[in-house]
Amino acid sequence: MAYDTDNIFARILRGEIPCHRVYEDADTLAFLDIMPKADGHTLVIPKAAATDLYGAPPEALAATIRTTQRIAAAVRKAFDAPGIMIAQLNGAAAGQSVFHMHFHVIPRYAGEDFRMHVGPKADNTVLAAHAARIRAALE
């Protein structure tokens, strides 16, 4: 599949669509998922154009996993999560719905149901507060 330069993540990177940013460096961007599976659900994307893991340049993949590790530690701290789930989907059959490679960082708690990635978007005020918590944990 060819990379679509108009996918929502590419548009976020160009500043055409707002997001709740929690971290950015020269190679990556981390922001909150607007339909979170758990409070603090964060997405980490490379700035390089890559549809999936297979098409990602190795240096972009390395930068993205470094940022994912850093964000996972911050999410764990910010949400006092005993577990963190990292998910990376490749292809529609695997559940990928945005075709720009990305990692999901999702806090997990014993006995808590896993919310599906469907339904209404999260409240912007709640997302802004969650983003602030993660940014504070990065410091």
Question: Active-site residues: which are they?
Answer: 102
Alpha-carbon span 58 to 84, nearest angstrom: 24
**How long a stretch of residues is the chain?**
139
Nearest CA-CA partner of 85 in 124, 125, 121, 115: 115
Residue with tokens 């999560």, as numbered in its chain: 81
Under 8 Å between Cβ of 68 and 104: no
